[in-house]
Amino acid sequence: MNKRYLPSLLILAIISTCIEIDMSVPSFPDMARDFGVPEGLIQRTITYNFLGFCVGALVYGPLSECFGRRKLMLIGNSIMLIGAVGCVYARTIDWLLLSRFIQGIGASTSVVLVFAIIADCYQGNEAFKLLGLTNAMMSTFMALAPSAGGYVNMAFGWRGNYAVVAGITALALVMMFFFLPETKTTLEKLDAGKIVRDYARLARNGSFISAALVPSLLFAAYMVFIASSGFIYLQTFALPIKFFVPHLSIIVISFAVPSMFAGKLIPYLGGPDNTVKVGMGVAAGSIALLLLVAENAYALTALISLYCVGFALCYPVIFGRSMEIFPELRGTASSVIMSVRSLLVSLLTAAASYFFNGKVVTVAAVMLVSVVAATFLALRPARVANSANTAN
């Protein structure tokens, strides 16, 4: 297998998945005006996207074990392209929501399978290096997406953002068709019963469920903010879009940069357990303050950025632990985690859109419910461990 171009190809494959949401957020008010619908309905473009992501994430991992990574990557990215093109030409809000759902089904492909392909082809330090590069590039694309989306919206309108995503997806699809090798050399027989049993085994394990829910709840809270940010900054705070874009970019960077260096920071924070406590404390404290003091754009940006730092610090520790509970089921575990995360985002963004009234406190209240639940689950294992030690 020629692996010379594989890293570049995998990074190209994840670009559209990384930018599809953050690029569209600056366009939300324009979309609401164009379709003549309430703000909350536009926020549901994220809800439907993650609902599709939830469906796709459940099946791509197991199916790739039976039919190969290459075939599933081509099929999934083709679905994403269909959804993106549908968004560009949407003439009604229902058409747009359906297209976002289809796009989500396809978007989950690269997120689930890129890391499986890396595990197929690389081991040891070589694998760690490529995983680090991939995560760094994902963080970079996420950080650049709001700025790019804002300027594309000003130049070409909201449809331009979906056109950019469609173009990048099409390019990635063509490159994968010609250059992506099959990395799963031994295919397994499709056994629906085994897949169900594996999922049931994961669902019955409390430690896995807790470790899967904590980062998912934190991410869902973040997406609740992202879904409403365009309306809050552009309408409630009456910022021009050229000033909103830097605010959103700062917030995304506040998650991206700590994510890139979280592994190096863990020893300085006293190890993995203390890192989780510090990260959860920062995240929960910032959202609690958000209920009290976020009455202007600068306070909101500062507190959400602080939340992102706390989230980024504890995420790799908790996610890493979730993947080590069942090492023989890493692919299935990854699918479950991504699916649960997407489902929670769908539910919480739907709830937030229903209650949204243009005020920060409404968004903060929904976020706080999610963060409090995550904090309880994150600190629960420590209490159990301490009780066990005391009993001994």
The predicted pLDDT at position 1 comes to: 54
The predicted pLDDT at position 386 comes to: 38
The predicted pLDDT at position 385 comes to: 38
pTM: 0.80
The predicted pLDDT at position 283 comes to: 94
Topology (CATH level 3) of domain 204-392 = Growth Hormone; Chain: A; (1.20.1250)
Q: What is the amino acid identity at position 101?
A: F
Q: C-alpha distances in angstroms, 33 versus 39, 41, 335?
A: 9, 12, 37
Residue ranges of the chain assigned to CATH 1.20.1250.20: 1-179, 204-392
Measure CA of the first residue to CA of the last residue in the chain; give whole Å.
Answer: 53
Contact 33, 93 (CB under 8 A): no
Q: What is the amino acid identity at position 388?
A: A
For 123-181, the DSSP string reads -HHHHHHHHHHHHHHHHHHHHHHHHHHHHHHHHH-HHHHHHHHHHHHHHHHHHHHHHPP
Instruction: List CB contacts of 118: < 8 A, sequence separation 6 or more.
Output: 10, 127, 130, 131, 134
Q: What is the amino acid identity at position 378?
A: A
Q: What is the amino acid identity at position 186?
A: T
pLDDT along the chain (392 residues), means of 10: 79 92 90 92 92 90 86 96 97 97 94 83 72 74 84 94 97 94 82 86 88 90 90 90 87 82 82 89 94 86 95 82 74 80 89 87 93 90 39 36
Do you know the residue count of the chain? Answer: 392
Contact 287, 307 (CB under 8 A): yes
**How far is Cα 346 from Cα 344, in angstroms, rounded to an integer?**
5
The predicted pLDDT at position 128 comes to: 59
**How far is Cα 315 from Cα 213, in angstroms, rounded to an integer?**
11
**How far is Cα 177 from Cα 56, in angstroms, rounded to an integer?**
20
The predicted pLDDT at position 80 comes to: 97
Domain spanning 1-179: which CATH class is it, in words? mainly alpha
**105 by DSSP, 3-state: which?**
helix
The predicted pLDDT at position 391 comes to: 36
For 305-352, the DSSP string reads HHHHHHHHHHHHHHHHHHHHSSGGGHHHHHHHHHHHHHHHHHHHHHHH
